[in-house]
Structure formats: structure tokens, C-alpha cells
A = this chain, B = another copy of it.
Amino acid sequence: MNPEKLKVAIVGASGFTGSELARLLISHPEVTISMITSESHVGKPFSDLHPQFYSRLDIPLESADQVEKVDVDVIFLALPHGVSMDFVARWKDKGAKIIDLSGDFRLSSKEVYEEWYGKKHTYPDGFKTSVYGLPELFSKQIGDADLVANPGCYPTASILSLAPLYALGIIEADSVVIDAKSGLTGAGIKANATTHFSNVNENFKAYGIAGHRHTIEIEEQLGGLAGSATTVQFTPHLLPVDRGILATSYAKVKGEMNQEKLTKIYHEFYQDKPFVRLRNQAPGIKDVRGSHFCDVFPVWDTRTSRVIVLSAIDNLLKGAASQAVHNMNLMFDLPEDTGLNQLPLKP
């Protein structure tokens, strides 16, 4: 191992997020993967779970207990919500920075968490120190953090769609509708009726109507930008594709607006953000597949006096794994795009 490289542990290897983290980190010039864990596959090569890594990443999977015994600089938790919190509590004083990709520390408090996730939070102190890991909004705080709560996939696309308007405080109360569509990997690697090919292929439907957990994450962040609580109508749908989120957001704004002014607001807000691409046509999810980009396209509809914003991300990357690597770069003072310049794989 190169002693100058960051030593990382990936906890939770069996899912898509763990696999994508491994793919990015194995090519990251400043990183050495020290350990990958999976409780149910201890001893198996990583490539047994994810055959695409065959001959390139065959290291044996270990138990999370082993993380205690090694010296690592950063731990990525690619675990389900409700599981991560215990590991954060356990390793908080280990001297490693932690990037949690679950929903356990994204919200403002134990109370809000328990209301929306319907389960008890066992480490509420984590809310005091965790930083919401959306680099376009909080790069400075992330740089100083020891615990980063990596954002949800839908919230990433949704917040980046409307942040410039909320930051100006010009969104009309009660006017926001976010109609979002995600590829199937958002539903996870677990085999069940939802993920059965024949229920997804050639199909399309809404789910989590009027109650999806990402709603509160979006509301807290957008409300925070505006300086006052906000309510959004958020409806997710399941697309018959592997990857990608497209969010179509609708809002009424206060005061005069036109296309030129709208475009200018977005350009100013994102001028130093290398991974937000302001487009001048409707982005497709394939324009960003396999990349860390968030493509955003704001439209002013003169006829209805409404703003419509389209935004596209790869849910496994900007919506999860590459965002986590971006956060790592910020936490360790690396150039923020280190290891993240993959161009989209299209077609």
C-alpha cells in the first residue's frame, strides 16, 4: 500500500451502492481500498458478488468487525437505514471520517426521523455533528466534517432543481410539485415482487404517493435555504431502466420573471459548481448515465406563469456513490473532481 494514499473501508458490499463505490475508488488516484465488508459473504471474493470485477477486484470480503482492527482514514457505510446508525455510534471515536450513504443522519432530528422512517433512532447525538453532504450547497461544512450524511437520490435531483429559487426566497408557498422518476436500481438489489423483471419491464407506475421519506429531506433542505419551512408535493415513479432519475419540478414564483432572468439566476448560482451542467434543452437520463453530472434545465412558461425545472442524475452516482467520493475529496482537501471525471456512457 502506498502510505500517502487514503485508506478506505467500504462497509456493505452486496448492494449496488457498495459496488459502485468500489468501482470508483479502485480508479481513484489518491485512494487505496483497505477493506470491503459483507456479513453474509465473509471470505468470498468481492467479484463473486459482482462478477464484472472478475480479475480486477477479487479481495476477500470481511466482517465489519474487522474494521475495528485496521487503520483507515475514511469509512463508507453502504448500508440500509436503521443499520448505519449503530456503526456510526460504534466508530465515532475511531479517528476515521465517516460517510454514511443511508438515510440515518440526513434529517434534522431524532423526532423528525422517527416520524418519517417509522423506527427508533439509537444514536441521536449524530444529528449534532453530521453534515448534509450536498457539495453544491455545503462544501465548506463538508470540508470540516467528521460525519457526512450522503443525500438521498431523489433529494439530490430535487434540491438542485429548485435551490437557486429557494435561496432567493421567491418561491410561492404551497406551489411546488416535484414529479420524479427513477430507474429500478433505486429499489435496491433485493429480489422481490417490486424488482422482478416482469413487473418493471414495459411498465411504469407511481409509488409512495403522498408519503415518501425523501419528501421531508427535500423540504428540510429547501426550507433551510429559504430560511423558512416549506412544503412540497413529491411523487416518485419507477422507470423501466437500470439507472437515472429525472425530476420534473413545478413552482410559482413571487415577482416578475422571464426566461432570461431565470436562466441568469441558475447560472449565477451554479457558476463554480463543476458537476452541475446548465443545459439549454431537456436533458435525458442517458446524458448523465455513468457520470457525476447533474444536468439542470429551467424553463419559464409565460402562458401559465410557472417555472418548470428538469434535472437528471445517475441515481447510483450523483445520487449515491460519486457524491460520496466527492464528499471524501472535500473532507481530505483534494481537488473536488479527483477521480470523478467519467464521461457519461451513452448509448
Contacts and interface: CB of A to CB of B under 8 A. Distances in A.
Interface of A: 16, 19, 23, 26-27, 50-57, 174, 177, 179, 181, 184-185, 189, 191-193, 195-207, 209-211, 231, 233, 235, 237, 239-244, 246, 248, 250, 277, 279, 281-291, 295, 299, 301-304, 306, 308, 310, 312, 341-347
Contact of A192 (B191, B246, B345): B191
Contact of A281 (B27, B51, B237, B343): B51
A343 B195 contact: no
A218 to B, nearest CB: 13
Contact of A287 (B54, B240, B285, B303): B54
Contacts of A240: 197, 201, 239-241
A294 B189 CA distance: 26
A347 B198 contact: yes
Nearest to A200: B197
Given A196-B191, A344-B52, A203 B279 contact: no
Contact of A177 (B177, B196, B286): B177
B198 A196 contact: no
Contact of A347 (B26, B211, B243): B243
Contact of A233 (B242, B246, B306): B306
A192 B237 CA distance: 23
A346 B50 contact: yes
